[in-house]
Amino acid sequence: MIVGLVLAAGESTRMGQDKALLLYRRRTFLETIVSTMHEGGIERVAVVLGHHSEEIRRAVVLRGAEIVVNPHYQLGQTNSLKEGLAALDRPEVEGVLFCLVDHPAVSAETIRAMSEAFRPPLPSAIIPTFRGQRGHPVLISRKLIHELLSLSAGVGANTVIRKHLASARLLEVNDAGVVTDIDDAEAYHRLDEPA
């Protein structure tokens, strides 16, 4: 089984407001990502909240999503990833598709293609690419989950993924959303511009 994980615990300091609550096509980023995962065939999705978690919970409708609150979100994205992975770590979980809240434009077709590409022999990860550029979300295999759970503070998930890149699969998709990272107001205003 593949499960989804959305990281939305950060302070969004460069944006100046919570990215989870920004609107994209009349829904919040967070609602959009969870809905896209469901549309792409991911039935179980967990969302990691931290900064302003109560406000976000009141403002968004997350049907079919499990909420994980990271009380230590200030420790960074890796800490939030570990909280989410720990909540999803079950024997039946073969892979975790994790997405950052600042990537709302990823299509359900990309999610579906990544899930379909995750078949024996299982790659360590599936990383979508658009015109050769690596993007998000990333689908990690069970063997990487435990390695990510043991990461030290300040060490990013990319360290583990790069270490296993030889056994990962790069999946070229026709979806600019995988490389559309909304980190600041300028990127947000460009969001609906064609790639």
Residues 24-47: tens digit of each pLDDT: 988 999 999 999 999 999 999 999
Fold topology of 2-189 = Spore Coat Polysaccharide Biosynthesis Protein SpsA; Chain A (3.90.550)
SS3 state of residue 77: helix
Tell whether omega for the bond before 120 is within 30 degrees of 0, i.e. cis: no
% pLDDT > 70, the chain: 95
Query: What's the predicted TM-score (pTM) here?
Result: 0.91
Residue 72 has, within 13 A of its CA and on its CB side, a CA count of 9
SS3 state of residue 172: strand
Q: Report, as ranges of residue numbers, the positions in the chain whose pLDDT lies below 70.
A: 11-16, 193-195
E runs forming strands in the chain:
2-8, 23-24, 27-28, 45-49, 65-69, 95-100, 125-130, 133-134, 138-141, 169-172
Between CA 3 and CA 129, with CA 132 as vertex, the angle to 5 degrees is 10
